[in-house]
C-alpha cells in the first residue's frame, strides 16, 4: 500500500475534491489530503466545502498568513507528517513559495519522496529569499508536475533536472459536465467564463461580436476590474442589449449555462507578466459538447488540439471570421462539439488526471533517493 499525503489549498473547492476520490480509487493507494479551513483570495473568502470525501482522509490544518500566495504555510504540518509517515508527499504549490519549502523540509525529515506542482509558464527571477528557496526546492525535491508545456520548459531552463511530467492540476467530472439539450431555441449565443480583466481579451470578443450578422448574443460569466469598461464598450458598439453580464456562477450550476451556448470563446491576450496557463473553462465547455474558440496565448492551442478553432490573440477580424463560420455551419458546431467531448474523456477527466498522477507517484518510488543532494 502506497501512502500519499497531498497538501493543497485549492482543495477547499468541493468540485476539485473529485480528483482525490479518483486517486484513492487507484489500486493500493492510501490517501490523506491536507487542506486549510478556508482560503482568502483578495476580498473573497472560500470556505472549505465537503463535496467529495469518500475513500480518503481529509485533514483540516491551520494555516499561517492565509491569503498570502507566496508566504503562507501550515505550522502543524511537520508534526502531522511525523505521525502519518507517508511514502509520498505531494505539495500542490509553486516551487518558490514558502509553503513548498516548508513542507519539503518536513517531508524529507520523515524519509518521504516529494513532488510539487507548477503553473508558472513565464521565466521570472524572484527576489530574495524566494529565489533561494526555489533553487533549494529544485535541488532537493524528487519530482515535479507542470500544468502546461511552457511551465515544464521554465523548470528545465532554471536548472531542475529531476523527473517531470505535464499533467493538469485538475480535470473535470464528465458526469456533471456533459452534453444536454438546449432549454429553448434561440439566437446564436457566444459565451465567455472567467475573470473580467484586461488580459483575458474580452474586449476583442465584444468587438468581434459587433460585426456579426443577424441577432447574436454574448453571455459573459464572472467578475473583475474590467466589468464597467466592458459594459461601456458594449454600449459604444451598439450591442449592450445583446450582451448579458452574469455574476460568479458555481461549478454545480455552470454546466446548465454552458449547454445553452453555441460557442465558448477564450480570447486571452498575453502580457509581459502573464500568459494563459491552461484555460479550464475550455475543457468544461468541451465536456458539455460545446464547440470552442481560443486565442493562441500560452497553453490554449495545446488544450484545444483539433477540437476547436484558434485565432491570433488580439485579432478582431480573425475571431469574427471564426465566429461567423460556426454561426452559419451547425454541422461544424456539432462535429467540433463531439470531438471536444472525446478529447476531454481521453485527457482531461478527473479520473484520467488521477491515473496519470498515481503513475508518476509509482515512478518516483522506483527512482534512486536524492537525499545526497544539498
Provide, rounded to the nearest whole percent, the portion of the chain with pLDDT above 90: 93
216: left (phi over 0), alpha (psi -120 to 50) or beta: beta
From edge to edge, which strands make up the β-sheet containing 143-146? Answer: 57-60, 29-35, 2-7, 88-91, 113-118, 143-146, 164-166
Mean pLDDT, residues 202-224 taken together: 96
pLDDT in tens, 162-174: 999 999 999 999 9
Domains 2-171+349-366 and 189-347 share a fold: yes
Residue 326 near residue 262 (C-beta atoms within 8 A): yes
The pLDDT value recorded for residue 43 is 81
The model's pTM: 0.90
With b for 16 or more beta-carbon neighbours within 10 A and e for fewer, the 253-270 pattern comes to ebbeebbbbbbbbbbbbb
* Model confidence band, residue 157 (pLDDT cutoffs 50, 70, 90): very high
Whether 219 shows a pLDDT value over 60: the answer reads yes
**Phi, psi at residue 225, to the nearest 5°?**
-65, -20
Mean pLDDT, rounded, of the chain: 95
CATH of domain 189-347: 3.40.50.2000
Whether 176 shows a pLDDT value over 50: the answer reads yes
Mean pLDDT, residues 267-295 taken together: 96
Which CATH superfamily includes the segment(s) 2-171+349-366?
Glycogen Phosphorylase B; (3.40.50.2000)
Select the more confidently predicted residue: 252 or 171: 171
pLDDT in tens, 50-83: 999 999 999 999 999 999 999 999 999 999 999 9
Q: What is the CA radius of gyration of the chain?
A: 21
| 32, three cell numbers | 490523506
* Distance separating alpha carbons of residues 46 and 23, to the nearest angstrom: 24
With b for 16 or more beta-carbon neighbours within 10 A and e for fewer, the 137-167 pattern comes to bbebbbbbbbbbebbbebbeebebebbbebb
The pLDDT value recorded for residue 252 is 80
- Kind of pairing between the strands at 263-266 and 292-295: parallel
Q: Which one-letter DSSP state was computed for residue 325?
A: H
- Alpha carbon 54 to chain centroid distance? 23
* Model confidence band, residue 303 (pLDDT cutoffs 50, 70, 90): very high
Whether 370 shows a pLDDT value over 60: the answer reads no
- Domains of the chain: which residue ranges? 2-171+349-366, 189-347
* Model confidence band, residue 186 (pLDDT cutoffs 50, 70, 90): confident
The pLDDT value recorded for residue 42 is 82
Amino acid at each position: 500500500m502506497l501512502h500519499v499525503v497531498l497538501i493543497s489549498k485549492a482543495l477547499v473547492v468541493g468540485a476539485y475534491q473529485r480528483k482525490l476520490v479518483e486517486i484513492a480509487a487507484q489500486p493500493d493507494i492510501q490517501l490523506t489530503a491536507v487542506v486549510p479551513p478556508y482560503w482568502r483570495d483578495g476580498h473573497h473568502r472560500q470556505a472549505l466545502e465537503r463535496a467529495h470525501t469518500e475513500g480518503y482522509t481529509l485533514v483540516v490544518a491551520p494555516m499561517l498568513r492565509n491569503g498570502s500566495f507566496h508566504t503562507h504555510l501550515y505550522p502543524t504540518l511537520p508534526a502531522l507528517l511525523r505521525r502519518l509517515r507517508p511514502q509520498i508527499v505531494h505539495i500542490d504549490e509553486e516551487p518558490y513559495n514558502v509553503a513548498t519549502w516548508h513542507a519539503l523540509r518536513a517531508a524529507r525529515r520523515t524519509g518521504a519522496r516529494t513532488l510539487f506542482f507548477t503553473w508558472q509558464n513565464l521565466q521570472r527571477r524572484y527576489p530574495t529569499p524566494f529565489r533561494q528557496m526555489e533553487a533549494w526546492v529544485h535541488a532537493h525535491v524528487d519530482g515535479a508536475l507542470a500544468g502546461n508545456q511552457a511551465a515544464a520548459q521554465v523548470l528545465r531552463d532554471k536548472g531542475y533536472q529531476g523527473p517531470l511530467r505535464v499533467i493538469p492540476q485538475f480535470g473535470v467530472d464528465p458526469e456533471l459536465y456533459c452534453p444536454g439539450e438546449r432549454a429553448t431555441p434561440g439566437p446564436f449565443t457566444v459565451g465567455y467564463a472567467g475573470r473580467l480583466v484586461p488580459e483575458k481579451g474580452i474586449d476583442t470578443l465584444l468587438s468581434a461580436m459587433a460585426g456579426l450578422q443577424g441577432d447574436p448574443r454574448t453571455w459573459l460569466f464572472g467578475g473583475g476590474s474590467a466589468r464597467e469598461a466592458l459594459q461601456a464598450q458594449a454600449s459604444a458598439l451598439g450591442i449592450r442589449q445583446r450582451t448579458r453580464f452574469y455574476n460568479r456562477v458555481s461549478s454545480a450550476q455552470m454546466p446548465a449555462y454552458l449547454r445553452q451556448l453555441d460557442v465558448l470563446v477564450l480570447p486571452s491576450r498575453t502580457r509581459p507578466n502573464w500568459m494563459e496557463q491552461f484555460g479550464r473553462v475550455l475543457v468544461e465547455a468541451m465536456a458539455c459538447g460545446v464547440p470552442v474558440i481560443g486565442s493562441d496565448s500560452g497553453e490554449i492551442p495545446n488544450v484545444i488540439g483539433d477540437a476547436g478553432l484558434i485565432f491570433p490573440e488580439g485579432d478582431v477580424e480573425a475571431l469574427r471570421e471564426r465566429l461567423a463560420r460556426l454561426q452559419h455551419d451547425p454541422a461544424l458546431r456539432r462535429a467540433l462539439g463531439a470531438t471536444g467531448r472525446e478529447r476531454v474523456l481521453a485527457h482531461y477527466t478527473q479520473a484520467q488526471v488521477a491515473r496519470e498522477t498515481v503513475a508518476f507517484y509509482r515512478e518516483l518510488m522506483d527512482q534512486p533517493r536524492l537525499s545526497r543532494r544539498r
